[in-house]
Structure 1
Amino acid sequence: MSEHRYYVYIMASRSHTLYIGFTSDIEVRVRQHKAGTHEGFSKTYHCTRLVYLERFAFVENAIAREKQLKRWSRTKKLALIESQNPTWLDLSEDWGKPIPLFREPATPTAD
């Protein structure tokens, strides 16, 4: 039996405009936001940086959490992001990039 994963996430623009969403495929959804193919608020306000992410095993819990976060004040949302990601890094920045493999240090050669 496969394990289900559901995500609640926050995308942000450079000016910290926030978009809160829910998905079962975070990598695809983040690519959509970055490419501007996810129509609506996040596209209009250039919310292309993943700044917060939570994973859930049950869809009901993820949906409830998304609704909860959307009801929060902006101040509370900012505090949540900064508690986990104080420098507002794009958490997906390295997704899809090759992972460097471990290399043995070069051995000195005799001259």
Structure 2
Amino acid sequence: MEIPIKNGFYFYVLLCHDGSLYGGYTVNIINRVTTHNSGNGAKYTKPSSRRPVQLLYFEQFENQHDALSAEYKFKHQSRQKKIEFLKLKNVSL
């Protein structure tokens, strides 16, 4: 997976060290994953038991609203639905 260098509106999914999945929004994927791995990204990824995180999936959107909507939808699904979403995107855990 080639990570984009230029900024945009992205929804992304991380695999945490404890096996959990985290969905987020960013305008710069490289910086955001680095921030998560430093323990400063989000309350969810702050505990050392969840780090390091690995970028599993990202999708670029035309606008912030659509990227945030994708994040919201992902976060409000069961783990099984999240796994099914990733399988549909050809992402294996």
Size of the aligned set, in residue pairs, is 85
Q: 1:31 to 1:67 in 2, by over 3 A?
A: same
Q: Is the 8 A contact 1:19 1:47 kept in 2?
A: no
1:36 is aligned, of 17, 35, 39, to 39
Superposed CA RMSD in Å reads 2.0
Distance in 2 (CA, whole Å) between partners of 1:60 and 1:69 is 14
Higher RCO (Cα < 8 Å, 6 or more apart): 2
Residue aligned with 1:41, SS: coil
Residue 14 of structure 1, CA deviation = 3.3
Q: Is the 8 A contact 1:11 1:47 kept in 2?
A: no
Question: How do 1:1-111 and structure 2 match up within 5 A?
Answer: 5-44=8-47, 45-46=50-51, 48-83=53-88, 84-86=90-92, 88=93
4+ long deviations beyond 4 Å: none
Extract unaligned runs of 5+ from structure 2: 1-5
Once the two structures are superposed, what CA deviation does each residue of 1:18-75 show, in whole Å capped at 9, x if it has no partner? 1111011111101111222224111212251111111111111111111111111110
TM-score normalized by structure 1? 0.66
